[in-house]
Amino acid sequence: MRRQFPLVALLIACFGSFAFGQETSPAPSPSPKPAMTKAHFHNNTTTTERKLWEGWKNKDLKPFKTYLSADSLLIGDAGVANKTEALKELDSMSCEVKSYELSDIKVLFLNSDAALLTYKATQDGTCGGQAVPPAVWASSAFVRRGGKWFEASHQETPAK
């Protein structure tokens, strides 16, 4: 028994060192994303949404090129269009927008990098000689990429 004691002690020491080697060291905490309050996000996205409406009114594609995400989808009465298709359609549209107003704006955070903006838009204008609906309920999905917010989707439904 005495002869086995040093061998058992050596085996315990070896296996013990392996066990301590398996212990994970705590990973450094990731640096937190800068906090954006709901009020700040609300103001930021509302401003962006108004810039897009102004772009439509003034036949200026720059806001759409700037604020739509590369993989954005826009849903309208003609169907679903990606960013490239939407820009082409907007460029060829013969719309005359006299005025518009956004109201009843609400924000729903889906997670820290995605949010849904909903609102009512009243508008006075024509596209292709046809009057646009005087009021629509709209939703715009926003995503944060590279620290910036982009509109990833937009949809409108005529209001009754």
For the chain, give every domain's residue range: 38-158
Return the percentage of the chain with pLDDT > 70, whole number.
Answer: 78
Q: Is the dihedral of CA 100, 82, 113, 145 positive or negative?
A: negative
| pLDDT for res 75 | 93
Nearest Cα neighbor of 145 from 121, 122, 98, 112 is 112
Q: What mean pLDDT, rounded, does the chain reach?
A: 83
Q: Which tens digit of pLDDT belongs to each residue from 1-27?
A: 455 544 444 445 444 444 445 545 555
Q: Which tens digit of pLDDT belongs to each residue from 64-84?
A: 999 999 999 999 878 999 999
- pLDDT at residue 39 tops 50: yes
| pLDDT for res 29 | 42
Mean pLDDT calculated for residue range 28-46: 67
* Whether 91 contacts 19, CB under 8 Å: no
Copy the structure tokens of residue 24: 């994970």
- pLDDT at residue 114 tops 50: yes
CATH architecture of 38-158: Roll (3.10)
- pLDDT at residue 132 tops 90: yes
| pLDDT for res 3 | 55
- Spell out the alpha helix ranges (H) of 68-156: 83-92
